Amino acid sequence: MRCVSMPEVKVVNLWKSFGRRAVLKGVNLEVEDGEYFVIVGPTGSGKTTLLMILAGILKPDRGEIYFDGELVNDVPPEDRRVGLVLEKFALFPHYTVMENLLYGPVVRGEDLGRALNVAKEMLRMVLLEDRPDAMPTELSGGMKQRVALARALTAGARLLLLDEPLGALDARIRTSLRYDLVSMVKDMGLTAIHVTNSIEEAMEIADRMAVMRDGVIEQVGTPMEVYENPANIFVADFMSELNVFNAEVVSTGDGWTELRTEEGFTLRCSKGPLEKGMKVLAAVRAEDVDLEHGLGHGVNAVPSRVVDVEFILGFYRYVLDVDGRTLVAEEFSDRRVFKQGDEVTAKFRQDKILLFKQGRGVRVE
């Protein structure tokens, strides 16, 4: 019997290079049973390589992979009981939906009657029970994606590995399908590891997420943990649009610190005491900048001019100029309050100012 608390997937100190390029540099990861886990990062961060190693398609140079406590480094892909869903669906175009589902079991010489029953059940789960005879070309992108999911499940997978499974779909279909995808996976009680370059997608669907960069996992946590307490400036910048200032601590006390930025702005944040004279990066998210009419200035307030206004689905995004330096602010409203050329005061919310150390950008505790 398997131990309840044992993680479904455990990766220990994983390394992988292609030629001289190190793609994974000591990755550690634990994914719990039944979890919907998302690995998110920019192109080239190593997330797909990690997924392919979990699937057994690539071999690591170093490190261990455990499924259910069992070392699987030498277990071939077809014996790992994982289902792989790829961006391009990879359906056989000249086979029907049902033939696509049965391909794996037939090739492996499994009992066809049993496989057929499982395949029917899976089609029902992905709401395609009435389309077993359709050819892939007759299906929409969303349907193809569901067939790919059903095919992965027909093979009896307990662990789903999804590589940009929504990436080939239109933006709008993508947002409407991701919730359905996760609900389906959760209803089936599966564990899933989903790779994406979209932080928005990651946040909406993840129980927990890992932010990757340059072959390293920078942070793991629930979307809220990672957003509110980013480990470093890279994670913060990846999660939201930041205004970043080079600043120095001028005075500090219990629960407060006053900073002077290189532009000469005075910032006050709710952290402290810190070391006086310390050089930091101070960051304010665009949504934590409030705008007021008129050129006021003072602590956490900067006089600026509106250079550009964008309206995006329920909020305004203002690009501001302060003597040649750009700031970004977002206001949640469907009424435009400020227009191009307006003189405004950008006010930073004191409790929302994030501080990072210069250099590697680690968060100031």
Which listed residue (149, 205, 209, 282) binds another protein by CB under 8 A?
205
Q: Which stretch binds another protein (CB under 8 A): 88-96, 115-123, 165-173, 261-269?
A: 165-173
Q: Kindly state whether residue 19 participates in binding another protein, applying the rule CB under 8 A.
A: no
Q: Which stretch binds another protein (CB under 8 A): 8-16, 49-57, 65-73, 235-243?
A: 235-243
Which listed residue (42, 77, 296, 303) binds another protein by CB under 8 A?
42
Length of the chain, please?
Answer: 365
> What is the total count of residues that contact another protein (CB under 8 A)?
41
Which listed residue (6, 57, 75, 319) binds another protein by CB under 8 A?
319
Which listed residue (199, 233, 235, 354) binds another protein by CB under 8 A?
199
Q: Where are the alpha helices (DSSP H) in the chain?
A: 47-55, 97-107, 112-125, 141-154, 171-187, 199-205, 223-228, 233-239
Distance between CA atoms of residues 43 and 88, nearest Å: 17
For the bound state, the minimum distance from the C-beta of residue 321 to another protein, rounded and expressed in Å, comes to: 12
For the bound state, the minimum distance from the C-beta of residue 206 to another protein, rounded and expressed in Å, comes to: 9
Q: What is the DSSP letter of 274?
A: -
- Given a contact cutoff of 8 angstroms between Cβ atoms, the answer to whether 215 and 27 are in contact is yes
Distance between CA atoms of residues 328 and 339, nearest Å: 14
Closest CB to another protein among residues 57, 319: 319
Q: Kindly state whether residue 220 participates in binding another protein, applying the rule CB under 8 A.
A: no
CB atoms closer than 10 angstroms to residue 97: 25
Which listed residue (19, 314, 324, 341) binds another protein by CB under 8 A?
314
Distance of CA 311 to the CA centre of its chain: 24
Closest CB to another protein among residues 28, 222: 222
CB atoms closer than 10 angstroms to residue 149: 24
Main-chain phi, psi angles of 346, to 5 degrees: -95, 120
Among residues 224, 182, 163, the alpha carbon closest in space to that of 41 is found at 163
Q: Which stretch binds another protein (CB under 8 A): 56-64, 73-81, 96-104, 217-225?
A: 217-225
* Cβ density class 56-73: b for 16+ within 10 Å, e for less: bebebeebebbbbeeebe
For the purposes of burial, counting CB atoms within 10 Å of the CB of 206, is it exposed (0-12), middle (13-18) or buried (19 or more)?
Answer: buried
Site string for another protein, 247-286 (x = CB under 8 A): --------------------------------------x-
Distance between CA atoms of residues 13 and 345, nearest Å: 49
Which listed residue (223, 327, 348, 355) binds another protein by CB under 8 A?
223
Q: Kindly state whether residue 18 participates in binding another protein, applying the rule CB under 8 A.
A: no
For the bound state, the minimum distance from the C-beta of residue 93 to another protein, rounded and expressed in Å, comes to: 17
Q: Kindly state whether residue 238 participates in binding another protein, applying the rule CB under 8 A.
A: yes
Closest CB to another protein among residues 95, 315: 315
For the bound state, the minimum distance from the C-beta of residue 260 to another protein, rounded and expressed in Å, comes to: 27
Which listed residue (26, 63, 77, 141) binds another protein by CB under 8 A?
141
Among residues 94, 113, 174, 191, the alpha carbon closest in space to that of 140 is found at 174
Q: Which residues contact 190 (CB under 8 A, 6 or more apart)?
A: 34, 153, 157, 158, 159, 160
Positions in the binding site for another protein (CB under 8 A): 42-43, 140-141, 170-173, 175-176, 179, 197-200, 203-205, 222-224, 227, 238-241, 285, 287, 308, 310-315, 317, 319, 330, 332, 334, 336
